[in-house]
Amino acid sequence: MIWLLFFRRHRQKFKEWFRAPAKWWERLLAALAAAVVLAVVGLIIRVLSAPLPLLPLESLLQTVLVWSGIPALAGLVLGVIFPKTTICAVYPFSLLSFEVDANAS
């Protein structure tokens, strides 16, 4: 119930922000965030779809660059063209965190 009240209270501010023209720093933020998120997602998709070639090293680097570089470039373009939509779509990924345990064997 409290989330519904919170959402209703801030809905008008969100509508005003979303309808306003994007500022240069919002475009920059959206482009950088989308590039990072889509690069990681592209690499994860490649790792899950097939194993990475380890040797020769050029093949590994080319595979990583293609599968993370093309989505990162797409994220840059989407962030510049649609900054506010991209921020809304990419922001939840910034809340995910992975903790590495130093004592794990």
In a domain, 100, yes or no: no
pLDDT digits (tens, 9 = 90+) for 90-101: 878 867 766 656
In a domain, 3, yes or no: no
Helix (H, G, I), strand (E, B) or coil at 44: helix
In a domain, 47, yes or no: yes
Q: Which of 27-31, 79-83, 85-89, 99-103 has the lowest mean pLDDT?
A: 99-103
Mean pLDDT of the chain: 84
In a domain, 17, yes or no: no
In a domain, 55, yes or no: yes
Report how far residue 105's alpha carbon sits from residue 99's, in angstroms, rounded to the nearest whole number. Answer: 15
Burial of 74 (0-12, 13-18, 19+ CB in 10 A): middle
In a domain, 29, yes or no: yes
Domain coverage including residue 69? 22-94
In a domain, 105, yes or no: no
In a domain, 9, yes or no: no
pLDDT digits (tens, 9 = 90+) for 6-26: 677 778 788 888 899 999 999
| Domains held by the chain: number | 1
Polymer length in residues for the chain: 105
pTM of this structure: 0.77
Burial of 84 (0-12, 13-18, 19+ CB in 10 A): middle
